[in-house]
Amino acid sequence: MKHPGARRWLLVAMAVAVGLGWAQDRLDPYFVDILTRIAINITLAVSLNLINGHAGQFSLGHAGFMGIGAYTAAAMTLFAAPHVLPGGAGGWLLGMWFLVALMAAGGMAALSGLVVGAPSLRLKGDYLAIVTLGFGQIIAVIFRNIEPLGGALGLQGIPARTNLAWAYGAAALTVYVVTALVNSTYGRGFLATHDDEVAAESMGMNTTRYKIVAFVVGSFFAGVAGGLAGHFTLSINPRGFDFNRSIEIVVMVIVGGMGRTMGVILAAALLTLLPEALRMLSGLSPSLRWVGETRPLLYSILLISLMLLRPQGLFAWKRKGTVS
Amino acid sequence: MSQSAPPAASIFRRHFRHFLLLTAVTVLGLVGCKPSDGSGAGSGTGAIKVGEFASLTGNEAAFGRSSHQGTVLAVEEINAAGGVLGRQLELITEDNQSKQDESATAVKKLISRDKVVAVLGEVASGRSLEAAPICQQYKIPQISPSSTNPKVTQMGDYIFRVCFIDPFQGTVMAKFAQSTLKAKKVAVLTDVGAPYSVGLATFFKERFVGDGGEIVAEQKFTNTDKDFKAQLTAIKSVAPDAVFVPAYYSQVTLIVLQARELGITVPFFGGDGWEAPELLQGSGSGEALEGCYFSTHFSPDQDSPRAKEFVKSYEAKYGAKPDAMAALGYDSALLLADAIRRAGVAEPTQIRDMLAQTKDFDGVSGMMTLDADRNARKSAVIIGIRDGKFVYKETVNP
Amino acid sequence: MSEFIQQLINGLSVGAMYALIAIGYTLVYGVLRFINFAHSDVFMVGSFTGLYAGRAFTQASWAGGVTVMLVSMLACAVLGIVIERVAYKPLRSRSKLTVLITAIGVSMLLQNVAQLVFGTNQQAFPDTLPATTFQLGKLVVSSKDLVVLGFTLCLLGGLEYIVLKTRIGTAMRAVSFNPQAAALMGIPIDRIISFTFGLGSALAAAGGFLWAYKFPRIDPFMGVAPGLTAFVAAVLGGIGNITGAALGGLMLGVIETMVKGSRWSTWTEAIAFVLLILVLLFKPAGLLGRVQAEKV
């Protein structure tokens, strides 16, 4: 992690996050909602980008890890907190506990990432996609079958702990860790694994290990994002972490450009804003009502056109000096 | 090949300035967007804005649209009759695509941008539960038309509903199974993917066993299933007197058709999820469901003038008979208008207080009184299927 | 024991339809090496085509039913070819991921267009084929189950014939084996790929028709769940392998049914994937697939 510049920017981003958290109450709640979702989606997309973009694997189960995080963090604040925290604990202590809950959320997700990843990352390409897709399905079924976690109805009454400071703080940290990791000497291994796995292997590299590290780190941040999401929507249920949610995150990565952190950040923001923009547009006049009703249709057309016209991603600027 | 690529960090660094600028501009823009006070919808003389969030597209759009059509009809009728407090009602509807995580955003938009005085929605308990904490936080009354899970109104004192709740429905059907169907051994077939189904099954079982009945089989399926023969084969082997299926109509017909194919001849019965004209569509459905019963909120054949009038105007507008979802959607808007009238001012807190005091409100789905838990205490209707038609059987009072 | 046999019959009947859908996934994977996510929605379109075509016949009859099925198959074959030409062909030289995302986009597009065209409400599928039930001791067999099994066997037989005995089938196998070499031998790759898409889509439509005949309630999202299971079946049997896909479909049908009838029924949705992950871990190419060394 020899990038003092990156670290400086991390500090700036953190300061901005804290500033945003401070300004939260002065902002329109609808925009706070959108801004928060942007931050959570950035965390999800950038962490998936480490797996799909940098390490060249293809995971279709990111929402599953997010779900594990969401349930873990919710359980920590709903069930564990009353036993651990003294009655009437103040804001400072609650905040610390939320941090612990988020770390636990990330930890559980990372652990699951290890359990799923270690055996299946030996599989190549499509097969990994299928296994991760299956993992996402299985996770939803597991949550539905655990009665204390609310079964199909899920958990309600999760306290509102996520604010803009937490959300952007986590997003900034994710961006920093992913960037620093990829740029470290160690991280060169990811790119090598991505660019030519066979060649990397014949150079004596343990590509499976790199893939697992990418998978575990990516899962960790997905779990953190899940914890944030749960304390933001205040109710969670198994259906919120299904295949469709995973696809949304994958699309952010693809639109942003695989392996392009900046592009992925912009794509996450854009794709979160887009449906709301269409919602606004349809509210302008009754003659635009159809825009709202065809939002999902427009989304799919946009996706296909993008793939046909600009498959490298909307924000994939030319990499200087890249031979392709 | 990638050795010559610059480290991502430098890209990060190079563009971070722009990103920061962008964020700063956005934030500045948003601060300007802070809702200004004083221009609230409560005062003023323009239209009274009412928000609605509904699943108009996506998996469960069928329910969402029914309910939405009822609400739209109610608002149109109220406006045609001169509005409320001399002002028109303006219904602002947001679609949540039947997706998770969309309802809260939609409701925040309705509250902070459109400045609605109240929110109507939703059919599914899961999505009503997403919106409820928001409405509670901003002290905007929410009226759910047809979420029957008890948890919904427990989210706070601003959350109401115009339907009865599952414990009542479970009790009604448990009593009905014993007294009318004379069933001692009942099998239960639950949709574990739907909180509605799981809840209703639980309340039914509690009451039925409490009254001395026996649950001989508990089989489960999920909401995407179409093939129920496995569960039904298992049910057939224990020979129950009747089968309780607290599921949605979309699956009930298939379940009963397959049961008849397997030679299960006992009656099936269920809850308000059965209610829809689609239940009896298609060849063979009517015969298969002959002698089956379900409890619901409303029957188009009910002998009340109010209901008859509603059925007529609904048919005139949409060309189809209304189902329970439509009736409850209609009632939710009607109750809100009534509460605003009683409050004398379109102001959320006062509307809430008036809603809480609702007594003997004459809705199309029956007389209702909101109890201390903000649930509608109202009668349930039991409908039977005879000769391929819904036939009103009886009304059960709470 | 009779319950076990009854469940076996129930399972085989669903499994047969999984097999039909699974073959579509496998055929496309064979020639293009990508997962056609839109396949399950072609299946849905097949059902709806059957619904509209079925209205031409007021009486359930064999001739009518078979005609309706053929109409659906033809319509979906055209749809499949159009999808391939418009959405996938321009991307043939791109990364597999790009194609995969496009396929997901096409899948969403079909679902959303279907919602606009067919409506969001569930619709009842007309009885197009005659139906009765047979009682064999304690066993009950619906003629629907026999029809589904019979039709599936006929279609599989037809497919085997096309793939193994015809010129175009030989060309398909050649393209699947090595596209470059096939092209050098003068095989019109584009036409073969189009044909493969058409064939797979026609089978999906047949599956959709039979599905709607057995479960006469259809809606724009009906393809998602069976599509996913069928896809797992294709991988389970060894993707690219037609017999494997059929075997995988039947297997999953039976296993799912057995689990559904047991105490563990709430785990049904997970069972296909658990099985899949186990198979992939121990036999990565699927039950009947061949392991291929990656060419550098």
Instruction: Give tens-digit pLDDT for C260-273.
Output: 988 888 888 888 88
User: CB C115 to CB B61 under 8 A?
Assistant: yes
Cα A210–chain centre separation:
20
Chain B residues touching C123 at Cβ < 8 A: 278, 281
Centre a 10 Å sphere on the Cβ of residue A183 and count the other Cβ atoms it contains: 22
At CA C161, angle to CA C160 and CA C165, rounded to 5? Answer: 120
Tens digits of residue pLDDT in B38-87: 444 445 678 999 999 999 887 778 889 999 999 999 999 999 999 999 99
Q: Which of A13, A320, A34, A175 is nearest to B17 (CA)?
A: A13
Q: In total, how many domains does chain A have?
A: 1
Q: In total, how many domains does chain C have?
A: 1
Nearest CA in chain B to A242: B100
Q: Is residue A44 part of a domain?
A: yes
Kindly indicate the confidence band of residue C178, based on its pLDDT and cuts at 50, 70 and 90: confident
Residue at token pair 């971070």: B16
Residues A170 and A228: beta-carbon distance below 8 Å: yes
Written as one string, the DSSP assignment of B237-261 is TT--SEEE--S-HHHHHHHHHHHHH
Confidence (pLDDT) at A125: 65
User: CB A156 to CB B57 under 8 A?
Assistant: no
Cα C67–chain centre separation:
20
Centre a 10 Å sphere on the Cβ of residue C4 and count the other Cβ atoms it contains: 10
- Looking at the DSSP bridge assignments, the partners of residue B398 are none
User: CB A120 to CB C100 under 8 A?
Assistant: no
Looking at every residue in chain B, the average pLDDT score rounds to 86
Q: Is residue A275 part of a domain?
A: no
Tens digits of residue pLDDT in A41-51: 999 999 999 99
Chain A residues touching B155 at Cβ < 8 A: 156-157
User: CB C257 to CB B282 under 8 A?
Assistant: no
Tell me which of C2, C133, C217 to substitute to probe the interface with B (most B C-beta atoms closer than 10 Å). Answer: C217
Chain A residues touching B95 at Cβ < 8 A: 292-293, 295
Tens digits of residue pLDDT in C189-204: 999 999 999 999 999 9
Chain C residues touching A247 at Cβ < 8 A: 104
Tell me which of C86, C102, C228 to substitute to probe the interface with A (most A C-beta atoms closer than 10 Å). Answer: C102
Task: State the DSSP H helix or E strand holding residue A249, giving kind and residue range, or none if neither.
Answer: helix A243-256
Tens digits of residue pLDDT in A69-110: 999 999 999 998 888 777 666 778 888 899 999 999 999 999
Tens digits of residue pLDDT in B342-376: 999 999 999 999 999 999 998 898 889 999 999 99
Written as one string, the DSSP assignment of A125-180 is THHHHHHHHHHHHHHHHHHHH-GGGTGGG-B--------HHHHHHHHHHHHHHHHH
Nearest CA in chain C to A152: C266
Confidence (pLDDT) at B31: 45
Domain B48-164+303-378 sits in which CATH superfamily? Response regulator (3.40.50.2300)
User: CB C270 to CB A308 under 8 A?
Assistant: no
Q: Which of A131, B21, B350, B106 is nearest to C276 (CA)?
A: A131
Residues B139 and B112: beta-carbon distance below 8 Å: no
CB pairs under 8 A between A and B: 159
Tens digits of residue pLDDT in B253-289: 999 999 998 889 999 999 988 887 788 888 788 899 9
Sequence spans of domains, chain B: 48-164+303-378, 167-296
Percentage, residues of chain B above pLDDT 70: 89
Shortest Cα distance from A162 to chain B (angstroms)? 14
User: CB A6 to CB B194 under 8 A?
Assistant: no
pLDDT of residue A316 exceeding 70, the answer is: no
**Residue by residue, what is the 3-state secondary structure of chain C?**
CHHHHHHHHHHHHHHHHHHHHHHHHHHHHHHHCCCCCCHHHHHHHHHHHHHHHHCCCCCCCHHHHHHHHHHHHHHHHHHHHHHHHHHHHHHCCCCHHHHHHHHHHHHHHHHHHHHHHHCCCCEECCCCCCCCEEEECCEEEEHHHHHHHHHHHHHHHHHHHHHHHCHHHHHHHHHHHCHHHHHHCCCCHHHHHHHHHHHHHHHHHHHHHHHHHHCCEECCCCCHHHHHHHHHHHHHHCCCCHHHHHHHHHHHHHHHHHHHCCCCHHHHHHHHHHHHHHHHHHCCCCCCCCCCCCCC
Domain ranges, residue A195 = 4-242
Kindly indicate the confidence band of residue C144, based on its pLDDT and cuts at 50, 70 and 90: confident
- CA-to-CA distance for B7 and C102, rounded, in angstroms? 29
Nearest by CB to C101, which of A126, A251, A297? A251
User: Positive or negative CA dihedral for A188, A191, A197, A199?
Assistant: negative
User: CB C215 to CB B284 under 8 A?
Assistant: no
- CA-to-CA distance for B218 and B82, rounded, in angstroms? 53
Nearest CA in chain A to B24: A16
- CA-to-CA distance for A17 and A12, rounded, in angstroms? 9
Q: Looking at the domain that runs over B167-296, which CATH code has it been given?
A: 3.40.50.2300
Cβ of C264 under 8 Å from any chain A Cβ? no
Chain B residues touching A237 at Cβ < 8 A: 100, 126, 195
Q: Is residue A55 part of a domain?
A: yes
Residues 174-213 of C with CB under 8 A from B: 211
Q: Which of B259, A307, B339, B202 is nearest to C105 (CA)?
A: A307
Nearest by CB to B219, which of C3, C214, C265? C265
Q: Is residue C285 part of a domain?
A: no
Domain ranges, residue C162 = 17-223
- CA-to-CA distance for C228 and A246, rounded, in angstroms? 15
Residue at token pair 């109710």: A235
- Which pTM does this prediction carry? 0.88
Cα B87–chain centre separation:
28
pLDDT of residue A230 exceeding 70, the answer is: yes
